[in-house]
Amino acid sequence: MMVQYQLGDIAIQRIVESICTGFEPLSFFPGSTSEDWSRHRSWMEPRALDPVSGNLVLTIQAFLVRTRHHVILVDTCVGDHKSRPQRPFWHMQKFNTFLPRLAAAGVNPEDVDYVMCTHLHGDHVGWNTQLRDGRWVPTFPNAKYIFAQREWDSFEELHRRNPQPQFLDSVLPVVEARQAQLVGSEFSLDDEVWLEPTPGHTPGHVCVHLASRGAHAVITGDCIHSPVQCVELGWTMRADADPALASATRLGFLERYCDSGVIVCATHFPEPSIGRIIRRENAFWFGEDAT
Ligand SMILES: [Zn+2]
C-alpha cells in the first residue's frame, strides 16, 4: 500500500490519513446533473465513486518527499481532535493513522525539515499542529512551514471577517512558534523543489513541483479534485473561491502536463493517486502509474 515512487534522487511516498466518502457529487460539483453522473458512474465506480453511498471517493493524504538534502511533507490532511462542526465526518476525528503511517515510512516528527501547504483549507493543514496539554503546538518541532504569502494574506483577511477554525488551530500556532516562512508563489526551495502558482480554488493556491535527474513530478493539491474533472473541463468544485479562475488554472495545468511525461501526484484522487495526464478525444485522462 505504501509504495515509494522514485523520481531520480527524490523518493515520493503517500501518507494516507483516510479515504473520505462524505461528499455527495451533485453538490460537490454544482454544475453537474444526475444525467452526467449516470454517464460517468460505470467508469468511476467503485474506486472514484462509492457504489454504496453514491458519494465521491477522495483520498485524504500527504506526500512525503525525501530529497538528498531534505525531508518534506506536502499537505497535512485533516488532523485528529480538530473541531470541524461544519464537516461532521471530520469533526473531532481520532483516527490515529497519520503519525503511525509516517513512522512506518521511517520518519518521526522531529525528522521533518519542511512542511509545505498547497493552500490553507482544513484538509491540508490539520497535522500542522497537534494537541498537547490542551494547546495546539506544531507537530514537527524542527520544521519550517512554508506558506504562500498570498494565501496567508487572503486567509488572514477571511478569518477576520468570518473565523476559520483551521486557521486558528492549525496555522496561527505555527506562526506564533516562529516556524512559518511566508514566500512568493514561485518560491524555490532549491533546484529540486519549487512552487507553482495555481490560483482559483483559493487565492494563493500553489502546486509543488519536484525535479531530479531530468524527471519531473507535480503535486496538485486542490487544483483538481477528481479524475472526472479531466473529462468534464467546465466543472468547478463547490469551494472554489473564484470558479472561473479555478477552471482556467485547471485547464492550463492539464494542457501543460498532458503527454509530457511529468508524474502527477493528485492529492485527492483514488489510490494510487500517482499517474500521468494524457489527451483523450477532446479532453484528458488520468493514466495511473503501474506502481
Ligand atoms: Zn482538499
Q: Averaged over 110-120, what is the pLDDT?
A: 98
Alpha helices in 119-242 (DSSP H): 122-125, 149-161, 165-170, 172-176
User: What are the residues whose beta carbons fall under 8 Å from the beta carbon of 66, sequence distance 6 or more?
Assistant: 10, 11, 13, 72
pLDDT for res 16: 97
* Residue 173: pLDDT over 50: yes
Whether residue 117 contacts residue 145, with contact meaning beta carbons closer than 8 Å, is answered with yes
pLDDT tens readout for residues 119-151: 999 999 999 999 999 999 999 999 999 999 999
Domain of 269?
4-288
* Residue 228: pLDDT over 50: yes
CA–centroid distance, residue 239 to ligand 1 (Å): 9
CA–centroid distance, residue 91 to ligand 1 (Å): 15
pLDDT tens readout for residues 82-108: 999 999 999 999 999 999 999 999 999
Q: What CATH number is given to the structural domain containing 162?
A: 3.60.15.10
CA–centroid distance, residue 14 to ligand 1 (Å): 15
Q: How confident is the model at residue 2 (pLDDT cuts 50, 70, 90)?
A: low
* Residue 253: pLDDT over 50: yes
Q: How confident is the model at residue 280 (pLDDT cuts 50, 70, 90)?
A: very high
Q: How confident is the model at residue 289 (pLDDT cuts 50, 70, 90)?
A: low
CA–centroid distance, residue 123 to ligand 1 (Å): 5
Q: Averaged over 204-227, what is the pLDDT?
A: 98
Q: Can you read off the three cell numbers belonging to residue 83?
A: 473541531
Write down the mean pLDDT value for the chain.
96
| 162 vs 2, more confident | 162
CA–centroid distance, residue 104 to ligand 1 (Å): 24
pLDDT for res 3: 76
Q: For the chain, what is the domain count?
A: 1
* Residue 291: pLDDT over 50: no
- Based on the number of CB atoms within 10 Å of its own CB, is 47 exposed (0-12), middle (13-18) or buried (19 or more)? middle
Quote the percentage of the chain above a pLDDT of 90. 97
CA–centroid distance, residue 268 to ligand 1 (Å): 7
Strand partners, 288: 275
Strand partners, 196: 207
Quote the percentage of the chain above a pLDDT of 70. 98
| Alpha-carbon span 197 to 178, nearest angstrom | 24
Q: How many CB atoms lie within 10 A of CB 126?
A: 28
Q: What is the pTM of this model?
A: 0.97
* Residue 68: pLDDT over 70: yes
CA–centroid distance, residue 150 to ligand 1 (Å): 18
CA–centroid distance, residue 201 to ligand 1 (Å): 10
CA–centroid distance, residue 106 to ligand 1 (Å): 25
CA–centroid distance, residue 54 to ligand 1 (Å): 19
CA–centroid distance, residue 70 to ligand 1 (Å): 24
Cα of 29 vs its chain's centroid, Å: 18
